[in-house]
Copies of this chain bind each other. A is one copy, B any other.
Amino acid sequence: MRLPGIGPKGAQRLAFHLLKTPRELTDRLIDALRDVKERVTYCSVCNNITDTDPCAFCSSESRDPQIICVVEEPQNVSAIEKTREFKGMYHVLMGALSPLQGIGPDDLKIKGLLGRIGTTVSEVILATNPNVEGEATAIYLARLLKPLGVKVTRIAMGVPVGSDLEYADEVTMHKSMEGRREV
């Protein structure tokens, strides 16, 4: 029940299921759990979760080192990878600026990002979340990065693909009108 999304009934169902499961299957689950804590670490370059250091993205020969996409959490890397379009590098901040929760610039992996901006990097895409904290983090990072002479871009906010204008909230509709592009 301490795991996310598992309530009393789900916990009981899992417990009884494990009791009925053959020993070798529970042993494999035990090994997997141990592996997670022992083998999965954070990449020393981009802070993404990885079992090798540097991670598969940072050590890849086929990815474009000129573009760094900055995200808040490792799961955001998966969200962007699913598009199968982005072939650059990543940088995981491990959170977003949030004065209410006491998260300041020093709590995020910002120094590491600045250290990566050399002559090879031509563009930094700020793909922090499109909410208050993510937007504040993007503005903060843009101010730090632009003096370094790198192009800084922000992912587009707008109406989600497949939806209807009727369901768009005012702020999203405004951003969608503001961010219109020539066709």
A residues bordering B, Cβ < 8 Å? 69, 71-73, 75-76, 79-80, 82-83, 85-86, 125-127, 129-132, 138-139, 142, 146, 151-166, 168-183
Q: Which residues of B are found within 8 Å of A71, using beta-carbon distances?
A: 165
Given contacts A73-B166, A80-B165, A162-B172, 11 further A-B contacts (CB under 8 A): A79-B168, A82-B170, A83-B170, A130-B161, A130-B164, A152-B183, A156-B159, A157-B160, A158-B158, A160-B168, A162-B171
**Docked complex Cα distance between A125 and B180 (Å):** 8
Number of identical protomers: 2
B173 touches A80 (CB 8 A): yes
Please tell me if the beta carbons of B163 and A130 are within 8 angstroms of each other in the complex: yes
Judge whether B160 and A75 touch: CB under 8 Å. no
Say yes or no: A173-B131 contact (C-beta < 8 A), given A180-B156, A183-B152. no
A138 to B180, CA, bound (A): 13
Q: Which residue of B lies closest to A182 (CB)?
A: B153
In the complex formed, the residue of B with least CB distance to A72 is B165
Please give the distance in Å from A66's CB to the nearest CB on chain B.
Answer: 15
Please name all residues of chain B whose beta carbon is closer than 8 Å to the beta carbon of A82 when the two chains form the complex.
170, 173
Alpha-carbon gap, A125 to B177, bound state (A): 8
With A157-B158, A158-B155, A183-B153 as contacts: A129 and B83 at CB distance below 8 Å:
no
Report the bound CA distance from A151 to B162 in whole Å.
25
With known contacts A76-B166, A165-B76, A165-B79, A160–B179 Cβ distance under 8 A? no
Top 8 A-B residue pairs of the complex, sorted by shortest distance between their CB atoms: A156-B179, A156-B158, A158-B158, A83-B174, A153-B180, A155-B176, A161-B171, A160-B172
Q: Pick the residue among B132, B154, B182 that contacts A183 (CB under 8 A).
A: B154
Q: Separation in Å of the A41 CB from the closest CB of chain B?
A: 22
